[in-house]
Amino acid sequence: MKTNSSTIFLFILICIGCKTQSTDNKRIIEILSNVEQKNKSINSISYYSYYEQIDPAQKDSVTKVEGKVWLQPNHKDSIFGSVFHLRGRDGGGLFDYYYDGTKSYEIRHDTKTIKLFDPYKYENNANNPAKARTALSPLIYELTDIKLSQTLKKNNPLVSLIDNRDSYCIDFKYPVDEYGQELALHIYIKKKTYVIEKIQKNVTWRGVEYRTSLDIDSLLINNAEIPNNIFLQNTYSDYIMTEYERDKNQQSNSNYIGLKAKNFTYPTSNKDSINLESLTGKYVLLDFWETWCGHCIFALPEIQKLQDKYRTDLVVIGITTENKPQVEKLLQNNKLTYINIFADQQIINDYTLKGRPTYFLLDRKGIIIDQSEGNLQKITTDLKNLL
């Protein structure tokens, strides 16, 4: 009986590939274990970090933040897992950011202002106002994560190894998450010290690729001078300090309920024109959003569902004022059929917008009967009761 030589060759290649993959997996486990051991040895750490993000959703698509970090791990701390001081520069100028285990202080030197945050007042996630700060971009959690392997392998990514001359590059490709995001993560580790020296992230979301890189320099571990730079020592007596209060900010537009919505006329994404007063007799939902607002983009499919469900009685109008090419791309990628207009600063002034997304629900006479900053469920409940 003759054996097909092509079949044998293919079988050999498969076996070699499986063996190589198995060897890589063992080396990856060993490398990450060594990094974790290094992280566990850290009582204090300082480093200089260069953060760069390329975000096509922004007009100025490149965001750069750089700064020096002094940090002591505290793995019992539920907010940051450490106490730290970050001194740096971003688009707002020079700043210092302190977290002492209870409160955060963002000190802006150009404006001589201090913003005080109590992170324990809010849900402990990425939207916690103490965490969601551009100033914190140079902060690198992976450098002190004592369970790094577990953190990186959450959600079962495909993992591969590139062996460079002086460093290892471990690539993680994660499955698409519940929001439609696909993440590729690249971590560069020095061979001699098993310390992370660079992190790159590529996120594909709604047809747009967002790229982030973090470069680490001047790293010191367990240096005696580090603790002297962590805690706030200057009183900044000539600076103005205010405490962040999310609830007050969210109530900033509450006086519009009961008033007639201000009329406007703007071209739509389909090159038509829409006049608000011409929609008298219908309920109208105004959705103010922008491409830089992740919460806004998450909500787009839900708003489309509202338009589809109540199409005989409701007109939805999406309103943006920035980055028109990216708006058009998002409308196309999400297959949105409801009206979208590209407006100007006047409409922001007319509706006193503070944040995005902001929703206004109008009755059949054009009177604002409800509004919400970020809470689409509130508007959904209104429509269910009305229609």
Residue 49 carries which side chain, given as an amino acid letter? S
Q: Closest by alpha carbon to 190, among 25, 31, 362?
A: 31
Of 13-22, 86-95, 242-251, the range with the lowest mean pLDDT is: 13-22
For 217-238, how does the pLDDT look when each residue is reduced to its tens digit (9 = 90+)? 999 999 999 999 999 888 888 9
Of 93-97, 124-128, 284-288, the range with the lowest mean pLDDT is: 124-128
Query: Rounded to whole angstroms, how far apart are CA atoms 181 and 370?
Result: 32
For 294-336, how does the pLDDT look when each residue is reduced to its tens digit (9 = 90+)? 778 878 889 999 999 999 999 999 999 988 888 888 888 888 9
Long-range contacts, stretch 79-87, CB < 8 angstroms, 24+ apart: 79/119, 79/120, 79/124, 79/128, 79/130, 79/131, 80/131, 80/139, 81/141, 81/144, 82/144, 83/230, 83/231, 84/139, 84/230, 85/229, 85/230, 85/231, 85/232, 86/135, 86/136, 86/138, 86/139
Tokens of 71: 């940090």
What pLDDT is recorded for position 29? 94
Give the pLDDT band (50/70/90) at residue 249: very low
Give the pLDDT band (50/70/90) at residue 248: very low
Domains of the chain (ranges, CATH numbers): 20-244 (2.50.20.10), 249-386 (3.40.30.10)
Q: What percent of the chain shows pLDDT beyond 70? A: 91
HSE-CB at 254 with a 13 A cutoff on CA atoms is: 6
pLDDT at 181 over 50: yes
For 3-56, how does the pLDDT look when each residue is reduced to its tens digit (9 = 90+)? 556 665 555 544 544 444 567 889 999 999 999 999 999 999 999 999 999 877
181 vs 172, more confident: 172
Query: Rounded to whole angstroms, how far apart are CA atoms 47 and 171?
Result: 23
Give the pLDDT band (50/70/90) at residue 252: very low
